[in-house]
Amino acid sequence: MTENNFNRRDFLKITAVGVTALTGLRMIDRAEASSGEVGAHQWAMVIDQSKCIGCGYCTLACRAHNDVPQDISWNQVIQVEDIDGKDVFIPRPCMHCAKAPCVDVCPVKASYYRPDGIVMMDYDRCIGCRYCEAACPYNARAFNWKAFTEPNPVVPEWGQPEVERRGRGVVEKCSFCYQRIDRGLELGLTPGVDEGATPACVVICPVGARFFGDLKDPESNVSKLLRERVSYQLRIDLGTSPRVYYLPSEPQGA
């Protein structure tokens, strides 16, 4: 299940400026420089494009656990056609940028940084101006045009809602399932290791293409992957410093 089919040229445009070998340490330096207060953790996601099969389970689990209406996707899976003879997918949640344009443009401070690096929305403060939606270079935000009052069709098959529904007239987006992270930490669990403390999209992935963890912990799974593998971020030319990293798909026969 995929949304927004991209061709090879589109893919190369969005990634050509972003392919680079990076480390978690560099990411932390950027976060500290741009977003002010830094907490005990800095959460990040790594997505392995060699493993992703475009099944869309991540989108469905996200909709269930965050009670997202069917006409909105916090977590899209974008298909890239025929890269070296193989279909490649770009799962695209919110990038949780260390220097987020959406935070900069919000006139009422409804978009803000948590100390752990998650870019959050205060839906009570949001006035629906959509400046943040226009400013996001990743198309990761969606406006809620109508009240979501009907039953969620992906519940309970793909999970149970864990947060309140947003009201009509606000901009919605991925939150790295902050509610699971916070609850898990209170219970002594480790996000990225224990399922109950890990974003739903990571837990549901049937091929293990998604990883989540703390960049401030050198032994976390994301820190190790970023040390050992070549990775890239989308549109780093804009200076946003995304906290979602991609491990590029390997050529056929590699």
Q: Which long-range contacts (CB under 8 A, 24 or more apart) does 11-17 make?
A: 11/80, 11/83, 11/88, 11/90, 14/234, 14/235, 15/232, 15/234, 15/246, 17/235, 17/236, 17/237
Q: Which amino acid is at 46?
A: V
Residue 188 lies in a domain: yes
pLDDT value for 103: 98
pLDDT tens for the chain, 254 residues: list them.
Answer: 444 444 444 444 444 444 433 333 343 343 343 444 578 999 999 999 999 999 999 999 999 999 999 999 999 999 986 667 788 999 999 999 999 999 999 999 999 999 999 999 999 999 999 999 999 999 999 999 999 999 999 999 999 999 999 999 999 999 999 999 999 999 999 999 999 999 999 999 999 999 999 999 999 999 999 999 999 999 999 999 999 999 998 765 54
Contact call for residues 27 and 227 (beta carbons, < 8 A): no
Q: Within a domain: residue 109? A: yes
β-pair partners for 99: none
Domain at 153, CATH number: 3.30.70.20
196 sits in the region (left: phi over 0; alpha: psi -120 to 50; else beta) called alpha
CB 208, CB 225: distance < 8 Å: no
CA-based nearest residue to 103, from 246, 241, 211, 245? 241
Residue 252 lies in a domain: no
pTM score: 0.85
The answer to whether position 2 is within a domain reads no
Contact status, residue 201 vs residue 75, Cβ threshold 8 Å:
yes
Number of domains in the chain: 1
First and final C-alpha spacing in the chain: 26
- Report d(CA 126, CA 112) in Å as an integer: 11
Residue ranges making up the domain that contains 92: 8-247
Burial 158-174 (b: 16+ CB within 10 A, else e): bbebeeebbeeebbbbb
Side-chain half-sphere exposure of 24, counting CA atoms within 13 A? 23
Q: Is residue 99 part of a domain?
A: yes
Structural domain includes residue 197? yes
Does 221 map to a domain?
yes
pLDDT recorded at residue 87: 87
Domain assignment present for residue 170? The answer is: yes
| CA-wise closest residue to 147 among 131, 134, 166 | 166
